[in-house]
């Protein structure tokens, strides 16, 4: 099944559970608008997308990713997931997603800036603070968001910080936005473990990805007492049975040290430096309690599902687990905490950023994180209640909750 078909099948299952007729939610099966753009850069054609899936709950909202594998089907799927996610955490937005099918590593910063400006020109008519508000996603960041604001403001002749979220603080970004996704992933895991009577100190975690999401998840889990024993990125990673010193590792990677060349571990045996090298592929197969794919889609699939040993999967990457793998793992008693709940903290703080921009306010980090925890708690409670009452998986519960709100 391709991922968009999986989305439709999840929707249909939820509709059935709610006793809805297929025509009641037909509109959610097709994106409201698909924008595909092509432009020339240095003699080559670059392709970009913005898929605006649904606007029932408000202006379209969702990230822009720069990745060579991005295609229309993926952009459609990710846009649809944003519709579901935004409904779950009750932010007044519809769903969208897009980006460029490029490998950003192949370009200099100046080139990326130019490419981002050209892309902004192409999509300028379709975005805006009350129309569609992009944000960072895979391989995009606050600096790129700043370039979009500049270019968009130039086009409309007025400074418009609220056209995107996930900006730098000095460009109108919000306190807490950068760590929001990792922070809320940790919040959701805490609450879930509490229902299983398991304590953070007794819980080992392996994380795939040490970028904006994975690194902040690791830091937050470490702070809360979890033992993060393995982390890996595309170019390598490390594991240590006594746990990794996340702060030191985080500082080292800011200086662009490669994970496999660092071994900051914790505990008595640390001086022995028994770090093992792990790869992005086998980090998810470690013998731990929780694994968190926090990098890119399609990382737990039928190809590696039988080697997954963890009993909890915290799906921080959108579409990190394929439908086939989820079905198999669930039968083995593995709990999958789905992307649309686990990583919803990012868009939630995006909402706070947008609101601060519109009201010309600046909220403190403490206030933002408190409001974030409240929203996540609410979403989590509702999803878990549905899952328990209706005896369905957490993903099915997420779709049921979202559909209820979308069909109101
Ligand atoms: N890219 C993030 C996501 O997938 C954030 C989207 C946003 O903040 O609009 O949820």
Please tell me whether residues 180 and 52 are part of one structural domain.
Answer: no
Q: Which of 119, 137, 170 is the last residue of a domain?
A: 170
Quote the pLDDT of residue 271. 64
Between strands 94-100 and 204-208, the pairing is unpaired
Q: Does residue 273 have a pLDDT over 90?
A: no
Where does 226-332 have alpha helices with state H?
A: 246-254, 323-331
| 20-27 average pLDDT score | 94
**Looking at the domain assignment, is residue 305 inside a domain?**
yes
**Looking at the domain assignment, is residue 279 inside a domain?**
yes
Please tell me whether residues 341 and 266 are part of one structural domain.
Answer: yes
Among 53, 57, 82, the mutation site with the greatest number of ligand 1 atoms within 8 A of its Cβ is 82
Please give the residue range of the domain that contains residue 70.
31-170
Q: Is the CB of residue 62 below 6 angstroms from any atom belonging to ligand 1?
A: yes
Q: Is the CB of residue 140 below 6 angstroms from any atom belonging to ligand 1?
A: no
Please tell me whether residues 221 and 351 are part of one structural domain.
Answer: yes
**Looking at the domain assignment, is residue 16 inside a domain?**
no
Q: What is the percentage of the chain residues whose pLDDT exceeds 90? A: 91
**Looking at the domain assignment, is residue 19 inside a domain?**
no
Q: How far is the CA of 345 from the centre of ligand 1 (A)?
A: 8
Atom of ligand 1 at shortest range from CA of 78: 4
**Looking at the domain assignment, is residue 9 inside a domain?**
no
Q: How far is the CA of 269 from the centre of ligand 1 (A)?
A: 40
Residue from 76, 97, 167, 375 carrying the catalytic annotation: 97
Q: Give the global pTM.
A: 0.96
Annotated binding site for NAD(+): 181, 212
> Ligand 1: which residue has its CA nearest to atom 8?
347
Atom of ligand 1 at shortest range from CA of 93: 9
Annotated binding site: 61, 85, 181, 212, 350
Q: Are 18 and 404 in contact (CB under 8 A)?
A: yes
| 124-137 average pLDDT score | 98
Please tell me whether residues 127 and 166 are part of one structural domain.
Answer: yes
Q: How far is the CA of 363 from the centre of ligand 1 (A)?
A: 20
Q: Which of 147, 170, 193 is the last residue of a domain?
A: 170
Distance of CA 309 to the CA centre of its chain: 23
Q: Does residue 264 have a pLDDT over 90?
A: no
Q: Is the CB of residue 318 below 6 angstroms from any atom belonging to ligand 1?
A: yes
Atom of ligand 1 at shortest range from CA of 344: 10
| 356-377 average pLDDT score | 97
Least confident of 5-9, 261-265, 296-300, 356-360: 261-265
91: exposed, middle or buried (Cβ count in 10 Å: 0-12, 13-18, 19+):
buried
In 3D space, the residue among 266, 311, 257, 318 whose CA is nearest the CA of residue 286 turns out to be: 311
Instruction: Label residue 391 by pLDDT band (50, 70, 90).
Output: very high
The pLDDT tens digits for 307-355 are 999 999 999 999 999 999 999 999 999 999 999 999 999 999 999 999 9
Q: Are 244 and 265 in contact (CB under 8 A)?
A: yes
How far from 131 is each of 60, 87, 88, 140, 154, CA to CA, in Å? 6, 17, 20, 21, 18
Element (H, E) at 31: none
Please tell me whether residues 135 and 229 are part of one structural domain.
Answer: no
The domain that holds 408 is classified in CATH as 3.40.50.720
Please tell me whether residues 231 and 332 are part of one structural domain.
Answer: yes
Give yes or no: 388 in active site.
no
Q: Is the CB of residue 227 below 6 angstroms from any atom belonging to ligand 1?
A: no
> Ligand 1: which residue has its CA nearest to atom 9?
62
Q: Does residue 260 have a pLDDT over 90?
A: no
Instruction: Label residue 27 by pLDDT band (50, 70, 90).
Output: very high
Neighbours of 197 (CB within 10 A): 7
Q: Is the CB of residue 14 below 6 angstroms from any atom belonging to ligand 1?
A: no
State the first-to-last Cα distance of the chain, in angstroms, to the nearest integer: 29
Least confident of 60-64, 143-147, 192-196, 265-269: 265-269
Q: Are 240 and 275 in contact (CB under 8 A)?
A: yes
Neighbours of 302 (CB within 10 A): 12
The domain tally of the chain equals 2
Q: Is the CB of residue 98 below 6 angstroms from any atom belonging to ligand 1?
A: no
**Looking at the domain assignment, is residue 5 inside a domain?**
no
In 3D space, the residue among 95, 98, 38, 52 whose CA is nearest the CA of residue 71 turns out to be: 98
Among 78, 99, 135, 338, the mutation site with the greatest number of ligand 1 atoms within 8 A of its Cβ is 135
Q: Is the CB of residue 317 below 6 angstroms from any atom belonging to ligand 1?
A: no
Q: Report the greatest alpha carbon distance in the chain.
A: 64
Q: Is the CB of residue 347 below 6 angstroms from any atom belonging to ligand 1?
A: yes
The pLDDT tens digits for 234-243 are 888 999 988 9
Please tell me whether residues 182 and 53 are part of one structural domain.
Answer: no
Q: Is the CB of residue 63 below 6 angstroms from any atom belonging to ligand 1?
A: yes
Q: Which of 170, 204, 238 is the last residue of a domain?
A: 170
Per the structure block, which two tokens stand in for 172?
A: 């109108």
191: exposed, middle or buried (Cβ count in 10 Å: 0-12, 13-18, 19+):
middle
Quote the pLDDT of residue 258. 81
What mean pLDDT is reported for the chain?
Answer: 96
Q: How far is the CA of 202 from the centre of ligand 1 (A)?
A: 31
Q: How far is the CA of 136 from the centre of ligand 1 (A)?
A: 6
Q: How far is the CA of 282 from the centre of ligand 1 (A)?
A: 27
Quote the pLDDT of residue 275. 83
Please tell me whether residues 39 and 187 are part of one structural domain.
Answer: no
Instruction: Label residue 263 by pLDDT band (50, 70, 90).
Output: confident
> Who contacts 99 (Cβ-Cβ below 8 Å, separation ≥6)?
48, 49, 63, 64, 65, 66, 67, 70, 75, 137, 138, 140
The pLDDT tens digits for 348-364 are 999 999 999 999 999 99
In sequence order, what are the beta bridge partners of 97? 51
The pLDDT tens digits for 54-80 are 999 999 999 999 999 999 999 999 999
| 147-170 average pLDDT score | 98
Q: Is the CB of residue 61 below 6 angstroms from any atom belonging to ligand 1?
A: yes
Q: Does residue 269 have a pLDDT over 80?
A: no
User: How many Å apart are CA 294 and CA 252, to the nearest integer?
Assistant: 19
Instruction: Label residue 101 by pLDDT band (50, 70, 90).
Output: very high
Q: How far is the CA of 30 from the centre of ligand 1 (A)?
A: 20
**Looking at the domain assignment, is residue 287 inside a domain?**
yes
């Amino acid at each position: 099944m391709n991922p968009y078909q999986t989305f439709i099948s999840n929707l249909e299952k939820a509709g059935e559970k709610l006793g809805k007729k297929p025509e009641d939610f037909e509109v959610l099966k097709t994106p409201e608008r698909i924008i595909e753009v092509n432009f020339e850069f240095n003699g080559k054609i670059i392709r970009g997308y913005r898929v605006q899936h649904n606007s029932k709950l408000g202006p379209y909202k969702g990230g822009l990713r720069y990745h060579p594998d991005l295609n229309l089907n993926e952009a459609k799927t990710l846009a649809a997931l944003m519709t579901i996610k935004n409904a779950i955490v009750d932010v007044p937005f519809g769903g969208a997603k897009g980006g460029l099918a490029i490998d950003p590593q192949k370009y200099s910063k100046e080139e990326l800036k130019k490419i981002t400006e050209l892309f902004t020109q192409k999509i300028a008519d379709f975005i805006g603070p009350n129309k569609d508000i992009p944000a960072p996603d895979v391989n995009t960041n606050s600096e790129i968001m700043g370039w979009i604001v500049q270019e968009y403001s130039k086009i409309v002749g007025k400074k418009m910080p609220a056209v995107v979220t996930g900006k730098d603080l000095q460009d109108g970004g919000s306190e807490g936005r950068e760590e929001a996704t990792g922070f809320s992933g940790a919040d959701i895991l805490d609450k879930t473990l509490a229902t299983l009577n398991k304590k953070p100190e007794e819980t080992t975690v392996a994380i795939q990805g040490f970028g904006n999401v994975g690194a902040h998840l690791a830091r937050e889990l470490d702070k809360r007492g979890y033992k993060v024993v393995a982390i890996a990125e595309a170019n390598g990673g490390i594991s240590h049975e006594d746990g990794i010193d996340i702060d030191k590792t985080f500082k080292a990677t800011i200086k662009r040290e490669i994970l496999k060349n660092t071994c900051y571990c914790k505990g008595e045996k640390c001086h022995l430096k028994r770090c093992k090298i792990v790869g992005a592929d086998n980090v998810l197969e470690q013998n731990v309690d929780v694994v968190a794919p926090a990098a890119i889609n399609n990382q737990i699939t039928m190809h590696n599902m039988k080697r997954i040993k963890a009993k909890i999967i915290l799906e921080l990457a959108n579409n990190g687990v394929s439908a086939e793998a989820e079905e198999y793992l669930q039968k083995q008693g593995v709990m999958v905490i789905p992307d649309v709940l686990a990583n919803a903290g990012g868009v939630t703080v995006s909402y706070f950023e947008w609101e601060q921009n519109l009201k010309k306010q600046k909220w403190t980090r403490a206030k933002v994180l408190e409001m974030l925890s409240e929203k996540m708690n609410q979403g989590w409670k509702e999803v878990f209640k549905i899952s328990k009452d209706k005896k369905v998986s957490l993903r099915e519960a997420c779709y049921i909750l979202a559909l209820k709100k979308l069909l109101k």
